[in-house]
Each structure stands twice: as structure tokens, then as C-alpha cells.
Structure 1
Amino acid sequence: MKIECIDTFVLRVPLGARRFYSSQAAFPERTSMLVRVTSTDGVVGWGEGGQYGPAEPVKACIDEVLAPQVLAMPEAMPAVVAETLYARTRDFGQKGTYVEAISAIDIALWDLLGRTLGAPVSTLLGGRFRERVKAYGTSGYYTDPEFRADRDLPGLAEAVIGHVADGFDMLKMKIGLLPIAQDAARIRTVREAVGDDVVLLADANHAYNAATAIRVGRVLDEHGFACFEEPVVPEDRAGYSRVRSAVDVPISGGEAEFTRYGFRDFIEQARVDIVQPDLCVCGGFTETQRIATLASTHGARTVPHVWGSAVALAAALQMCSVLPLSPYTLRPIPLQNEPVIEFDRTPNPLRDELLVEPFRLRDGHLDVPTGAGLGIEIDLDQLERYRTA
């Protein structure tokens, strides 16, 4: 499988009045970076990276450093390429931009390999345990630019009720931007709005120190939340352990971690209940397989994080389909021992308009594409519409 050319695409969609906020930042736009690899046989594969910060550094990394190396290889098999590129950039890579760039290339090469062989990526990874994945709707972002909880609560309740009406019985909300008492009111509002039958998760985007996170975790315990994501900053492994020891709500994290080496330390030192590698960040399919295996040996569940375009979602669905139950039970229970998939409810044209056949929620689930490779077809007109570089 010899590579003929590698193209990169920076995508950007301004959101205007639809902007929203997490504990860390405003989101005035949706951005991502796609990579297209084309073999000498004319087969194309797509990958994605560059989701968390500016996409341009990831593009430059591929264009100027990694792509020439891949093009020089007599054969470009995904795992070999990923390991080789990581080894050659270890002295100045290891985390961040270079690993995101390797992730994009790795996903594209797995897609290309699947299309070349006429098989889904999930088949190449060993086969599926499931044909569809339970979806949770990420909502409950902050929308009031003045961050006044009293103005935020009615809209928050209306939003989550609407998501339940759309077919979600599992939702994730954002916390961490406001004082604890005000975020506690938001937590209570969401629970009261959707009732006890909806599974709720909370994501702080590492807004707290351990002491504050424990106080918030007890509020989540009181309202029956099923997961507390990124309670403290990724570097604070002792803080993760302290929070997990003090509250009953399961603790998750890892979207800001990279490669099996970073996750080895994160899992062993933090002792989280759920690890959340993002395929477009942590090293692609090649590395996520290793991370999931490592997590299982420590009794942790793997639930891939998803943020980017339709390419990222397709990759995560393929990955979720091959993850075994952890631990095994005769009857799978989503999140408790079966992987679930994030389906963000904020505006995302890069996901919803980029494919010839967009993803659709069906009975609270997303179907895993059955076609070759990632199983998706990019709408090239839409790609050019949102391309800025």
C-alpha cells in the first residue's frame, strides 16, 4: 500500500449568535483538520486531528514533517507508520501537536486499508461486538454571555427536555464555570427536568482542584449522576485519586492525554473508572487499541471521547464496536459495562453536513457504518464550502 499524495484541509464554521461556553472557553466556531491519503492505486482514506486548539499547527506538522516521510515509505501500513512516525518525533513530540498529526494519518491509513480490502475498520481490528452504539447527548453548555445562572436555568431545562423528546435517555451537562452553589442549581434543574429515568453525566473540563471537585461530586452523588468527567486538571493524578476516593460517582478522564505511555501513567496513578481516549488526539486506532487493553487490565472501562467532524464520529463508532464488555455480563448495560458514544447537541455543521449520508439518531443509538474503511462518504462540495486552508 504505497501512498501517492497526502492532502490536508483546515475547516472552520463561525457560529455567530449560537456560540456557547464550557468552563474553559467560548466556542464561537467549529474547527477541525482533515487529512486525505491517496494510494498509488487511487484509493482514498480520510483522517482527522487538530480539534482542541488551532488546527493550523497540526496541518503544518503533517505537510512539512510527517507527510514527506510517509510518501517515502515503500509500503504504508497503519501500525508500522504510526510507530515509525512516533519514534522519529519522540525527541520533540510525545504529546500535543505531533501526536494529533500522527492520529490523523493513522485514522486515514486504516480507512484506506479497509477500502483497499473492501472491509470495515472494525473487521480489520478483529470484529464487532455490536452493530450500533448507545448515544449520549452532550448539552447543558453555558449560553448566557453574562454567566448569570438565574437567566440560564429556564433555557437549560427547556434544552434537556427537548433532547429527551428527540430520543435521548442519556445526557451529559457542562459544569465548572460558575460558583459551586450556582452550578449545583444547574445540576438540580437538569435532574428535575428530565426525571429519574434519564442517565446523567457531568463534565467539568478540569475546572476544579481536588477539594472543590469533591464538593461538586457529592452534589452529583445526591442527584444520581452516573459519571463525573475531568474533575481536576489532567496533570493532577493525585487529585484524581483523591476525588475518586471521596465520592461514589464514577470518575472519568483522559481526553487530554496522549499515547499508551501517557495513559499508562494516567491509569496507574489516577485510578479512574473510565478512560476517554480521543482517537483524533491520542494516536488513532493503532494507539487506542493499546490504551483499551491497558485500561482493561486495571479494571477501567474505555469510552472514546468525540468532539470533531463526521470523520471523528465515524472513527469512534468503529472503535466502540470492537470494544468488549468490561466486565462481561449476559445482558450488556450501556456505560456500566458497554461503551457509549458522545453525540454533542451544539451546532456542528462539520459533523452534520459533511457526509453524503449524515449520522442519524435511531432509538437512542447510532449505527456503526457497514461500508469499507470508516464506512462514510465525504461530500466534497461541503468540504470546500468550509475549507479555509
Structure 2
Amino acid sequence: MVTTTNTTSDAARTEGEATLDRIAWLRLSSVTLPLATPISDAKVFTGRQRPMTEVAFLFVELATEQGHEGTGFSYSKRAGGPGQFAHAKEVAEALIGEDPSDIGKIWTKLVWAGASVGRSGLATQAIAAFDVALWDLKAKRAGLPLAKLLGAHRDSVRCYNTSGGFLHAPTEQVLDNAEAALASGIGGIKLKVGHPDGKYDLARLTAVREHIGDEVPLMVDANQQWDRPTAQRMGRAMEEYGLAWIEEPLDAYDAKGHAALAASLDTPVATGEMLASVAEHVELIRHDAADIIQPDAPRIGGITQFLKLAALAEHHQLQLAPHFAMEIHLHLAAAYPIEPWVEHFDWLEPLFNEHLEIRDGRMHVSSRPGLGFTLSEQARAWTVATHESGTRP
């Protein structure tokens, strides 16, 4: 279904000599990406969630009076995709007439347009798609990859694979997946843990470590499914494997528990992916709850918010390993001063015409301007709803 709005409020238009361009048109697209195999992590094995069969995306495409364009996206797993699209549709008109360079101003305007639903969660995840599109447009207009516009510290980032290590996959398949990932140039492997039977986790971890060797960075992710005593026991049992980190050992909002665990283990503790605002991450940092912080730009409101959090994380000398959405996070990680990691998922590849270059354990920033991606025909085919505002130049 396509709906179109063409009115532009005079109050929405930016004024002043410094304004050289304005947003004239935008299109929202709700896209449902089917997964080839139902995905299960610890949340499924503990009965809290069902296997994941699809990922819902909210794409925003923008065009200005001068003909500049930008594309951004947000996403949701298992639930929330239609809600993101509905909220974005309600606030979209607020962008028409605005100067696309005024990204911070626009972010605040969108927050106030939907103030009743707050400044975290679904609301800011919908705003994130607009925000990412504005940054993409800004970098494209400058003729620069987004990382270079932000001020890159490096042209490539260490990367590790997650999509091959889920709990639904038999151990032998996980070993094959790890071997294939490393052969493709990926630098590290993450294994899902948090199974109700801790012995099962340790057996799989032993098999993977023996298979890939001691030199390959190896991470584990419990997806919030341990309580404090279990996390302590499992963390101690896993010390001998030389892990790069233990991810989400506790409930995402248990800052004190994460802090106590991080202080007691030699293995670094990583968390943050499920938090939906900068303010929630501030609590982690205030409690020294993570050695490695894992924000997700689409979840916390986009690139504008991510940059605020990155500055705070750097101030506290935290490592950074953004969650999912490598098409966005490669650029943000490349601009982070402390050597970061980026998470590799191949799930999103059908959505784009271009693909990331991975070799020698690192993901490389391309010379393409902006994020460096255009929507594929497959993405158009998976589109379930669209909405347009303004008039396309």
C-alpha cells in the first residue's frame, strides 16, 4: 500500500542565508527479510522467545531540492517492525522543508513530534532510519565515505562472525561454519551459549576452540539468559579458553551485576546491544558494567546518538564492538579512536546491490560515498508497505 502526503508546513522550513538546500521528498518502506533457517539462541531454549524466521526493516529514502539523496534504515527482530513503520509515517512530514545539514535539529524535532511515546525504544528506532539517511546524504554530498566524513582512525576494522554460531545448529555444523568464515577472511568467531545445560555450552566451546586453534579470537554470547550465580560459575569455567569477551551474561539492565562480574573475571565482559537509548548506556558506563560496549545505532536513535555515546565511551577508555547492522557500524567503528570490532552477519546482503570487502581478518571501508549501499530489486520485492511525503524533484 502506498500513501502520499504533499503538504509542507511553513513552520517546518529552515530559514537563513546558510540554508542552501531543503528536503523535498521522502519515502518510507517496510521490508520483511525472510531467513533461510529459523534462528535460535538461548532465549529460545529458555522458552522466552520463539525461533526467529524474519527480520523487519524500515528504510528511509530522502531527496532534496538540489537533487541530493540519502538512504537509511532501522530494523526489528520478532516484533516491532509494523510499529516502527507506523511511527515513522506519523512523524515523516516534519522533515519536509528542513535543511538536511541540520541533523541534530531534525533529530530533536522528530523526538518532539512523537514526545508522548518517549525517547527510547520503538520511537527512537523509527527516528534512527531518518537520521542514518541524513548522514548518508551528507557524506554523499561531500563525495566521501561516511567514515571519512566523520574522521576515520583507520580504513578497516577487525571483524568477527556471529551468524554461524547459533544454538540451533549442531556442533559439527558450527565447526564447518567457523572454518568457512575464517577462510573467507573473517578474523574471529562468536559462539552462542546460555543453554539451560551448562555442560552443553562447555562441550561446544571446547570443540570450537580445538577446531580453530588458540590464536583465533573467540567470543561467547549468553543473550541475557544467566542469573548472577550462573554467570559467575560459567565465567570462571570459561577463563581457560582465552575468550575475547563474554557477551550479555546477565539481564541487559542489570548494571550492578555486570559490574561485579566484570570485576571478578579476567575475561572481558561485553554488553549494551539491547539498550534503546544513550541514557541507558550511561548507566552501564557509570557502574563500570562493561569492558566492551556494544551499542546498536538503529536501536539508540541513529548515528547522531551513537556519536554522543562513542565520545563518552572513549572518555572512559572502553572498547567498542557495535551490534549487528555492519553496513552502518563499519563506518562508525572506523571513526572510533580505540581499536574496535565489527560484527559480521550475512543476513542483510540480499537487501543491497553492493557488498563489503573482508580480508585478513578485517572489514574494509570502500571508496563509495556515504554508507556505500543502494537498495536491491530483492529489497523492493520484499517491501510490504510504503509511504511518501513531499514532491520528488
Calculate the TM-score normalised by the size of structure 2. Answer: 0.85
* CA shift for structure 1 position 374: 1.4
Distance 1:178 1:158 in 2: 24
SS at match of 1:383: helix
Distance 2:26 2:288 in 1: 38
Contact 2:192–2:220 under 8 Å retained in 1: yes
1:131 alignment partner AA: D
Equivalent in the alignment of 1:388: 384
* CA shift for structure 1 position 258: 2.8
1:8 aligns with 2:28: yes
* CA shift for structure 1 position 253: 0.9
Which of 361, 364, 368 matches 1:367?
364
Q: Which has the higher contact order (CA 8 A, sep 6+)?
A: 2
SS at match of 2:337: coil
Equivalent in the alignment of 1:339: 340
Contact 1:50–1:97 under 8 Å retained in 2: no
Which of 374, 378, 383 matches 2:375?
378
* CA shift for structure 1 position 169: 3.4
Which of 259, 269, 278 matches 1:260?
278
Equivalent in the alignment of 1:63: 89
Deviations 1:290-343 (A, max 9, x none): 10111122221222112xxxxx32221111111112xxxxxxxxxxxx111111
The structure with the greater share of residues assigned to strand is 2
Distance 1:87 1:292 in 2: 24
* CA shift for structure 1 position 5: 2.1
1:352 aligns with 2:371: no
Distance 1:154 1:119 in 2: 43
Contact 1:253–1:276 under 8 Å retained in 2: yes
1:132 alignment partner AA: S
Equivalent in the alignment of 1:330: none
Distance 1:190 1:75 in 2: 48
Equivalent in the alignment of 2:262: 244
Structure label with greater radius of gyration: 2
* CA shift for structure 1 position 29: 2.2
1:316 aligns with 2:329: yes
Contact 1:259–1:291 under 8 Å retained in 2: no
Contact 2:320–2:340 under 8 Å retained in 1: yes
Between 104-113 and 24-33, the greater mean CA deviation after superposition: 24-33
Equivalent in the alignment of 2:131: 106
Which of 152, 174, 182 matches 1:128?
152
Calculate the TM-score normalised by the size of structure 1. Answer: 0.86
Corresponding pairs, count: 357
Contact 1:3–1:76 under 8 Å retained in 2: no
Cα RMSD for the two superposed structures: 1.9
The 3 A distance-change label for structure 1 pair 160 and 314 is: closer
Identity %: 28
Deviations 1:44-89 (A, max 9, x none): 211111323331111111101x212122536662122113323454
1:285 aligns with 2:303: yes
SS at match of 2:290: coil
Any stretches of 5+ residues in structure 2 without a counterpart?
1-20, 44-48, 386-393
Distance 1:324 1:215 in 2: 34
Distance 1:2 1:120 in 2: 22
Which of 12, 17, 22 matches 2:41?
22
2:258 alignment partner AA: Y
Equivalent in the alignment of 1:149: none
Any stretches of 5+ residues in structure 1 without a counterpart?
145-151, 307-311, 326-337
Between 357-366 and 107-116, the greater mean CA deviation after superposition: 357-366
